Structures are given as C-alpha cells and as structure tokens.
Amino acid sequence: MINLKAFKLMDQDDPLKLFRNHFFHQKNEIYLDGNSLGKMPKNIPEILGETINNQWGKQLISSWNKDWLKLPNRLSGKYGKLLNASAEEIVFGESTTVRLYQVLISLIQSGNYLDNLITDNLNFPTDLYVIDGLKTQFPKLKINNIEYHNEIEADIDLLKESIKKKPGIICLSLVTYKSCYYYPMKVLNQYAVKHKSIIVWDISHGVGSVPIDFKESETKIAVGCTYKYMNGGPGSPSFLYIESGLHSLLENPIQGWFGHKNPFDFNPQYKSAEKLDHFKNGTPPILSMQAVESGIDLTLKAGILNIRDKSIKQSEMIIMAIKDHLNSFGYNLQSPKKFLRRGSHIAISHPNAWQICQALQKGGKNIPKIITDFRPPNFIRLGITPLYTRFEDLWWVINQLENIVESESYLRFNQVKPEVT
C-alpha cells in the first residue's frame, strides 16, 4: 500500500500549493473531474456581485462604455499572453461549437482550399456533428473521418497520408477528450501547409493544461472553451484564434452588428470591421464573460510551464499506481503511456466503470467523496488540474479505486446513468 505521508510531503514541497487557496472547495470532497468543468475561483461571487448589483443594477446602460465594451478585448489580450498571440488575433464569445461551424464555413467559402475536410475518430462529438452537418450545406464537400481502430492514439502516418491524398481543411482536437492524446501540433501544421492544407485546432482540453505557443507551432486557426482548465464557469464563452495573415482572406458568414466597422452608426449596409473584429457577431455575454478573467489571471501567475511540470509528475504517479496496484483489480490505462503525447487527465477502463464512479462519489466514514467522470463505454477520467489538485488527492483515489473493487462495494450502485456524467 502506498504511503499517505509521502504524498502529503510532496504537497508541502509543491511550488504551486498556494494557488489552491484561490478556489472554492467543499469539505471532504476531492474534485478530479477530468475536465468537464473547472472549479470556481473564490473571487467570482464578488466579481459577479459587482456586475449584477452595481453595473447592471445601478449603472445600467452606461456600463457598456464604462466597463463592458472593454472586457472582450481585455480577455483577448490575456489569452494572447498565454498562447503567444496578439490581442487582435483572438475573439471571445459564442460556444466552441458555434465558433467551429463559423470558421469552417468561412474556410470553405474562401475558396482557398480544396473541397476536402478531414477529421478523426478521436475528435469530440460536437466537432464531428458540426462537420457532418456541413454535408447538406456544401454537397461537394468530401468528408474523411479517419478511423484509427483504437480510442487512445492517433496514427500520425495515416493522418499525414490522408492529408497528402486529400488536401484541404483538417479539424482535430489538440488534446482528445477521452484518452487525453496530445497531437504533435507543429509537425502537423507544417505538414498541412506543405500540402496546401490548414488545420483548425480545437484546444478545449489543451488550454491551461499544456503549453501552447501559436507562433512557434505555426498554428493558423484554433477554437477552445474556457470552462475546463481555465475555470471560467458553466457556459463561459469560447474563443477563436485566427492568425493575422488570414484576417483579410476570411469572411465571417454571420454578418452581425458587432462585426460591423461602426456598429453604433446603425447603418443598414454591412461594412466589415478590421482585423479579427469582423468575427464578432452579436452582443457579448457579459455576465459569463466577467467570470472568465480570474481563471486566466491565476494561470498566467502560476505559469503554464510550472502547471505542465506538476501535471506530468501527478499523471506519472497515477500511471505507476495502475501498473503496480490497479491492473490486478481489473483497471487498465486508456491514455498514451508517453507523457509527451498526453494532456492533463488519465483515462482508465474497468468493466464496472460507471458503478465505480458512483461508489467513489459516495465516499464513506472518514473517506472523502471523489468526483471523477465517466465516458462510454467503460472509461473513468481522472482530471489533474495542477492549480488545485493535491498529491494527497491522488493517494485517495488510487486507494479507493482498489478498495471499491476489493470489497465489491460498487455492486450496490445502479448501472443506469443520468443525463450528465
């Protein structure tokens, strides 16, 4: 049995340990959700309270000029720092799904790429649905959904071969939602350009968990959400990055008033705004946008390289425990073995995964509740968010995974799943 004391000592030596104090925690609960929704920074009630009570409640319409119109660009500047982009290359607003649809249509309509759209079986379902839905709108579009015959790793040779044979637009999740596979971003971007193609990266599971440098990796386009490792809250707005060289070549298929050069002239003729501002659509969702800033501030302060460092350390410890203890209890690693090809969660499988997730969540006498998440058919995702995940948390989950199977306590739980897992 591994030693709790040793894990607690690692917490004491953790250079990021104080960041945990900036988040709201429940007593006797360990949050290893992986990562559908990040924790709430402690100052959110105060920030939203000010927005609701003062800005909306009292200042009303004058808040647009005083505070709200500046907010989206301020966020773009801060995300630009994290991702090495200029503020003019990032716009906030909409869900990732809408942004993906918008930018894919823009690329298809630009006429700069052949009518091929490549994706793969590791991509997140919403990306696959959006791509599939484009078939009716663009009947000439040939969609190639590469099947790697496994759910863990992409076959990069096969992916490259597909790009070479059918160049055009490619859509991939930088870090995959199920296994946490992390694509070699720069190699693929360069390969795509060599073959007159472009990759649209969905970085939802990557932003805040792995270092991303848009310039160094020669990334052209990316979309991503802010509610996972960036802790922006439920339904927080997504972002779209388009490299400045492409701004004048891509039109926004949604000609909304916030993308107009002078929206408050109320001119009946549309005249597109400059830089990436023309990818703004309608009124920004101020309430949810206000909650995004704390997460980015904490991430910038901690430093993404320190976050990555701790994430690798913690992930490797779970993997070692799977090999040394958990394999014999029916658990198997379903994430890439090499840390270079992994983001910041570990997926494990077990034939009774859903019942085990419920048993973890139930906790017990002197045992904390442990929140993980389940993904079909039988995956448990253990999310590592170095800003608040303690080494002690890992000790608990490893031991509980073992105890629950050994004692067969999971048999008390229902096999039927609720809507959100």
Which chain residues interact with ligand PLP by CB under 6 A?
36, 95-97, 124, 126-127, 173, 177, 202, 204-205, 225, 238
Q: Whose Cβ is closer to ligand PLP: residue 96's or residue 119's?
A: 96
The percent of the chain in helix, strand and coil, each rounded to the nearest 5, is: 45, 15, 40
Backbone angles phi, psi at 375, to 5 degrees: -130, 135
Length reported for the chain: 421
Per DSSP, the three-state class of 218 is coil
Q: Whose Cβ is closer to ligand PLP: residue 278's or residue 345's?
A: 345
CB of 117 to ligand PLP, least distance (A): 17
d(CA 409, CA 321): 21
CB of 223 to ligand PLP, least distance (A): 8
Nearest to 63 by CA among 75, 74, 50: 50
Q: Whose Cβ is closer to ligand PLP: residue 104's or residue 326's?
A: 104
Q: Whose Cβ is closer to ligand PLP: residue 175's or residue 405's?
A: 175
> How far does Cα 22 stand from its chain's mean position?
21
d(CA 346, CA 233): 22
Answer for the pair 394, 7: CB distance below 8 angstroms, yes or no.
Answer: yes
Q: Whose Cβ is closer to ligand PLP: residue 238's or residue 385's?
A: 238
Q: Whose Cβ is closer to ligand PLP: residue 89's or residue 127's?
A: 127
Give the amino acid at 308: R
Strand partners, 202: 173, 223
Q: Are strands 221-224 and 239-242 parallel, antiparallel or unpaired?
A: antiparallel
CB of 267 to ligand PLP, least distance (A): 32
CB of 239 to ligand PLP, least distance (A): 10
CB of 381 to ligand PLP, least distance (A): 11
CB of 54 to ligand PLP, least distance (A): 29
